[in-house]
Structure 1
Amino acid sequence: MQKVIIFTDGACKGNPGRGGIGYYLISDAGKTLKGSKSYLRTTSSRMELMAAIEALRLLKFPCKVELYTDSRYLADSVNKGWLNTWLASPFFLNRKNEDLWRRLANEMQKHQVSIHWVKGHSEQAQHRLVDRLASRACNSPKPLIDPGYFFKI
């Protein structure tokens, strides 16, 4: 199974406001891929989740993934088992960002994913890169509309 290291970050100007995501993937074969997307009327929490979802969606076959994020919201929800508890609960339908949590869980099922928290604005070069990508995406001239905005942000 191929190993992939992923760095992700989300940013938002206003809450809700214009948002952006950044991701950087590194395969064990040395291939890299970086990218970003921008969104209108979204939140910082949604952008952190979208960054992880979009990065995982890029993987074409099952991989062993080490995903690095500065989002405690994301890291703790997965690492402390909260996400599994939410998914098993009949009350999950009312959970904030339910649409994205379900998408993330679906993407994670395809791979062996370990999520690691890193301090925001750290000196780690890869994390600085995704931070810049996400921040720049917030100002993109052609942002996407976050579909979650129309439901319950």
Structure 2
Amino acid sequence: MTDHITPAPAARTYIVFTDGSCRGNPGPGGWAFVLTDPDGMTSERSGHDPDTTNIKMEMDAVIHALQAVPEGAAVHIFTDSQYTINGATNWAPNTWMKNGWKGAKNKPVKNQDRWQQIMALMETRQVTFEHVKGHSGNPGNERADTLAQAASYGESAAQ
């Protein structure tokens, strides 16, 4: 059961599970996604950053996943990051962008470069998000987590 309500994915939708991992915060990190295309073919991708934060890796997973989906396509993203969901669906479009990328106390939004990438990619795709509880046995989330953790060590577990 999810705790974030979104419309049901369309029939011809790319389904994506994303996750980020960081050993220390900041520290070495990894991002990953598991993507199933509308024809049922699944692919996996992950990447490493030697000095990062968990939030940046969560966001990078979404960025790379959206880049892997063709423009104009419908994509439904499952993530265990409420921060990423709220930022992409509420804070960025409803506040930060309207305020010149300023947040609370008129300070620049953290990770603005990544938020701008996410928002630009969302403009050319039909994106919905759904929260999935991390480490709860969801196979897609568990696989993305395994890939992201391996990537945090600079290793690839992608098949």
Structure 2 unaligned blocks of 5 or more:
1-9
TM-score, normalization by structure 2: 0.83
2:58 matches 1:48: yes
2:23 is aligned with what amino acid? K
Counterpart pick for 2:140 among 126, 129, 134: 126
TM-score, normalization by structure 1: 0.86
Tell me how far apart the structure 2 counterparts of residues 34 and 108 of structure 1 sit (CA, whole Å): 20
Match of 1:23 in 2: 33
Runs of 4+ in 1 over 2 A off after TM superposition: 90-93
Structure 2 vs 1, CA of residues 52 and 87 (structure 1 numbering), >3 Å: closer, same or farther?
A: same
Aligned length: 141
Tell me how far apart the structure 2 counterparts of residues 55 and 139 of structure 1 sit (CA, whole Å): 20
Counterpart pick for 2:71 among 58, 61, 65: 61
2:145 matches 1:139: no
Q: Which moved more, 1:1-10 or 1:63-72?
A: 1-10
2:86 matches 1:76: yes
Structure with the higher fraction of residues in strand conformation: 1
Counterpart pick for 2:48 among 16, 38, 41: 38
| 1:141 CA drift (Å) | 6.2
Tell me how far apart the structure 1 counterparts of residues 84 and 152 of structure 2 sit (CA, whole Å): 20
- 1:74-116 residue CA offsets vs partner (Å, 9 max, x unmatched): 112233x211111111253811000100000011111010011
Percent identical: 34
| 1:61 CA drift (Å) | 3.2
Structure 1 unaligned blocks of 5 or more:
143-153
Match of 1:145 in 2: none
Tell me how far apart the structure 2 counterparts of residues 71 and 105 of structure 1 sit (CA, whole Å): 16
